[in-house]
Every structure is written in structure tokens, then in C-alpha cells.
């Protein structure tokens, strides 16, 4: 069976050596110095003399830009740059806090502390107050309890106001920036 849920990586394909069809190229050597405007054949000869590859870096510019460098080393550096870019990005996740309508004050304070910890870590917090049985008749009381919980959390951005969705009162809050 195939696994269709796998993450697919987008690969960028580079045109190298004899596959370059542009008549003229702006050529850069391995140290980053510009060699100048050369015909494709001259650029390929220069790369062969240095025992390196000619890689088309910017095919859409006028004239196209090519670099004389070892192709495997170039691919390694590109992967390294992508990994570094991923490290800098912090993913904000949504953490759930579930509670019921008749919750003790001490338990509510404990959940507030847990929510404040989530917010300090840079996460969003989704509050879920589940109504069971006859509690459905006390909807206003449930929304008031969720608003009280939000007030106890402190200064926040409310992403989603408390609202009844079926049997659950939901609200989403995030740390104020």
C-alpha cells in the first residue's frame, strides 16, 4: 500500500553543463567573483579547465547567470541553507484546555496557570467548556465562565470569541504582542 500522507519535498532542478541552451551567460566563479559575459561554449570550456561544473543559477534574468562550482558541493550548501531557514521559524501550535461548567475554583486556577504557561511558550490556547445533560439550559452561565477564564489569563488577543458550538463553548486566545 502506498502512503499518501508522506510529506513531499519540492525539489528545484538546475540546468548544468551541456544542457544550458542560452547563447550568452553572465558567469561567476566559485569564489563569487564575476568573470563577465561569455558565450555558453566559452563558459563550459572555462568550467572544464577548472574541473568544475557550470550551473545555471538565474535562468530568467537577462542575460542568464551561471556559476562555475562543484555541483554536489552546491547542492549540499543549498540543503544547509534550507535547514537553517527552518530553524529560525517557530511554529505556533494550538493547545487545548478542557473543563466543565461546575468546576471548583482551585481547579480553575490550576487550569489558568497551565494556560498561562502555554501562552508564555508562544502557543495559542483553545478553551473548550463541554455542557452535559441539563447543563445545556445554562448556556449564558457557560459563556460567562469562559469569559471569566479569559479574564484570569490576563492581557490577551482573543482570536475567537466564546461561542456555543453544539454542546461545547469554544474560545481561542493568543498572547498579546
Average pLDDT, the chain: 85
pLDDT value, residue 110: 94
Which CATH number, 3.30.110.10, 3.20.80.10, 2.40.70.10, 3.40.630.30, labels domain 94-175?
3.30.110.10
Where are the CATH 3.30.110.10 domain residues in the chain?
Answer: 94-175
More confident position, 7 or 107: 107
Q: What is the pLDDT of residues 108-143, one digit of tens each?
A: 999 999 999 888 888 889 999 999 988 888 889 999
pLDDT value, residue 127: 92
Residue 95 has pLDDT above 70, yes or no: yes
Average pLDDT for 76-86: 86
Which CATH number, 3.60.20.10, 1.10.1760.20, 3.10.20.80, 3.40.50.10310, labels domain 17-81?
3.10.20.80
Alpha-carbon span 61 to 142, nearest angstrom = 61
pTM of the model: 0.51
pLDDT value, residue 3: 60
Average pLDDT for 95-116: 91
Q: What is the pLDDT of residues 9-53, one digit of tens each?
A: 556 777 778 888 888 888 888 888 888 888 888 888 888 888 888
Alpha-carbon span 136 to 168, nearest angstrom = 9
106 — pLDDT class (breaks 50, 70, 90): very high
107 — pLDDT class (breaks 50, 70, 90): very high
pLDDT value, residue 2: 58
Average pLDDT for 147-161: 85
Where are the CATH 3.10.20.80 domain residues in the chain?
Answer: 17-81
Q: Render 111-171 in DSSP notation, one character per residue.
A: HHHHHHHHHHTT-EEEEEEE--GGGGGGHHHHHHHHHHHHHHH-SEEEEEEEEEETTEEEE
pLDDT value, residue 104: 92
8 — pLDDT class (breaks 50, 70, 90): low
Amino acid at each position: 500500500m502506498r502512503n499518501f500522507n508522506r510529506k513531499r519535498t519540492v525539489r528545484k532542478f538546475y540546468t548544468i553543463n551541456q544542457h544550458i541552451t542560452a547563447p550568452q551567460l553572465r558567469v561567476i566563479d566559485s569564489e563569487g567573483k564575476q568573470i563577465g559575459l561569455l558565450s555558453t561554449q566559452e563558459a563550459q570550456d572555462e568550467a572544464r579547465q577548472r574541473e568544475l561544473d557550470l550551473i545555471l543559477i538565474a535562468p530568467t534574468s537577462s542575460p542568464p547567470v551561471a556559476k562555475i562550482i562543484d555541483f554536489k558541493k552546491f547542492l549540499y550548501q543549498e540543503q544547509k541553507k534550507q535547514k537553517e531557514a527552518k530553524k529560525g521559524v517557530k511554529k505556533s501550535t494550538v493547545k487545548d484546555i478542557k473543563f466543565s461548567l461546575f468546576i471548583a475554583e482551585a481547579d480553575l486556577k490550576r487550569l489558568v496557570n497551565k494556560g498561562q504557561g502555554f501562552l508564555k511558550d508562544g502557543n495559542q490556547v483553545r478553551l473548550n467548556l463541554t455542557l452535559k445533560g441539563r447543563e445545556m439550559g445554562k448556556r449564558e452561565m457557560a459563556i460567562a465562565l469562559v469569559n471569566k477564564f479569559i479574564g484570569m489569563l490576563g492581557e490577551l488577543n482573543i482570536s475567537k470569541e466564546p461561542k456555543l458550538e453544539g454542546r461545547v463553548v469554544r474560545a481561542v486566545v493568543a498572547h498579546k504582542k
